[in-house]
Amino acid sequence: MAGIWDALRTRQTSSVAVTVRPHPSRHLLSTAKPPPALPSLKRSPQKTLLLALLGATGLSLLAATATLTPAPLAVPPGWPAPTLPADNPLTREGIELGKLLFADKRLSARHRQNCINCHREPLAFSDGQVFSTGADGIQGLRSSPPIFNQAWHPSFGWDGIRPRLRDQALAAITNEIEMHAAPATVEADLNKDETLRARFATVFSSPEITMERIGLALEQFMLSISAYESKYDRVLRGDAAFTPDEQLGHDLFHALPDHASGRRGAGCFQCHPGPLFSDFAFRNNGLDRVFADNGRSDVTKLPDDLGKFKTPSLRNVAITAPYMHNGRFGTLELAVAHYSGGIRHSATLAPELAALPANGYALTTEEQSALVAFLKTLTETSLTR
């Protein structure tokens, strides 16, 4: 991976404040009482040598930490502040280590696959499959979601089961239908690699490779993956212009239908608002009346959450087929058509959809094509910076 950062584009970060998630074990040192004065001790030569060695070790650890290069997350103008973990600040070295681990097959059982198997950058870090196949040849029950703009996600997984990205990464490594690796085996295998241990020493000030540190490095890499340079963004800046079809799709996306005035609209903005094109709330979007997958309800144990899944971002939606949590629709055209006649009503259907007539938004074929054209303007081919 040497030299990968030389190829990355440098982007200006805005002055937007970044929200930092505090670590529960972190305390404010300023509130602690000063320790009592220690009595004067006569040191033996052995004690003096030991203290000198400890002091040198401490200085070397501080020096290692000081050499890390901060990698602040770019926040485009008008975007909300991201939420970053206080105990895992982004550094260039940490991100590069995470990228190496993302491609390392030693994180899986019998070294059969790596994270890239299910998360490929040309597909916005999705995999193009209805259900991904794990290291043991077993298919999962949900489509692999793309990975970008993770710093704005309040939770992770289709059902939001994990509050931290590092936990999501480690769960994929150990899950029996995903990479199915034993933590002790992963640690033993990686600790045989002196080159990798040296990289861990750079990032973490000591060479030991542990699952916790693997999770932290993967978290840094995945937090660095960002999408904010599509044609849509260039249009907003005045550097590009929509075609007539794209403009019509844009207008439909951001409008509600009004039968009295004759206004046409697809209402997409209700669930996919703002620059992130999602509010990351959990919704039942009318795929089924009876649920083979309970979704959010399996996490909350609430009947009102049956069939609800996290609303995905529509950025890069043109390259992340198949669509929905279960890969129901193979094309973007089919996914758009679902909302004009395919919505199935149930007790937990999203209120935005439950209020519609039986034929949903009833978009014409031309309007659906225009909406697809607009959604394609949200595509971005390079997501690592």
Residues near 36 by beta carbon (within 8 Å), at least 6 away in sequence: none
Q: Do residues 186 and 173 lie in contact, with contact meaning Cβ atoms separated by under 8 Å?
A: yes
Q: What is the pLDDT of residue 16?
A: 42
Q: What is the pLDDT of residue 332?
A: 99
φ, ψ of residue 90 in degrees (nearest 5): -70, 130
Q: What is the pLDDT of residue 385?
A: 72
The amino acid sitting at 252 is L
Q: What is the pLDDT of residue 259?
A: 86
Phi-psi region of 324 (alpha: psi -120 to 50; beta: other; left: phi over 0): left
* Cα 337-129-213 angle, rounded to 5 deg: 125
Q: What is the pLDDT of residue 47?
A: 42
Q: What is the pLDDT of residue 13?
A: 37
Strand-pair category, 19-21 with 83-85: parallel
Q: Tell me the C-alpha to C-alpha distance, in Å, between residue 372 and each of 181, 267, 380, 385.
A: 40, 14, 15, 27
The amino acid sitting at 221 is F
Separation of alpha carbons 255 and 268, rounded Å: 8
Separation of alpha carbons 96 and 102, rounded Å: 10
pLDDT tens digit at each of 385 positions of the chain = 433 333 333 333 343 445 555 443 333 233 334 434 433 434 444 444 434 433 443 443 344 445 899 999 999 999 999 999 999 999 999 999 999 999 999 999 999 999 999 999 999 999 999 999 999 999 999 999 999 999 999 999 999 999 999 999 999 999 999 999 999 999 999 999 999 999 999 999 999 999 999 999 999 999 999 999 999 999 999 999 999 999 999 999 999 999 899 999 999 999 999 999 999 999 999 999 999 999 999 999 999 999 999 999 999 999 999 999 999 999 999 999 999 999 999 999 999 999 999 999 999 999 999 999 999 999 998 898 7
Q: Tell me the C-alpha to C-alpha distance, in Å, between residue 145 and each of 94, 104, 130, 195, 271.
A: 23, 20, 11, 32, 17
Element (H, E) at 19: strand 19-21
Is the dihedral angle over the CA atoms 129, 130, 133, 134 positive or is it negative?
positive
Q: Tell me the C-alpha to C-alpha distance, in Å, between residue 190 and each of 101, 168, 230, 333.
A: 10, 20, 38, 45
The amino acid sitting at 129 is Q
Q: Do residues 149 and 227 lie in contact, with contact meaning Cβ atoms separated by under 8 Å?
A: yes
Separation of alpha carbons 107 and 279, rounded Å: 32
Catalogue all structural domains in the chain, each as residue range(s) with its CATH number: 71-224 (1.10.760.10), 231-376 (1.10.760.10)
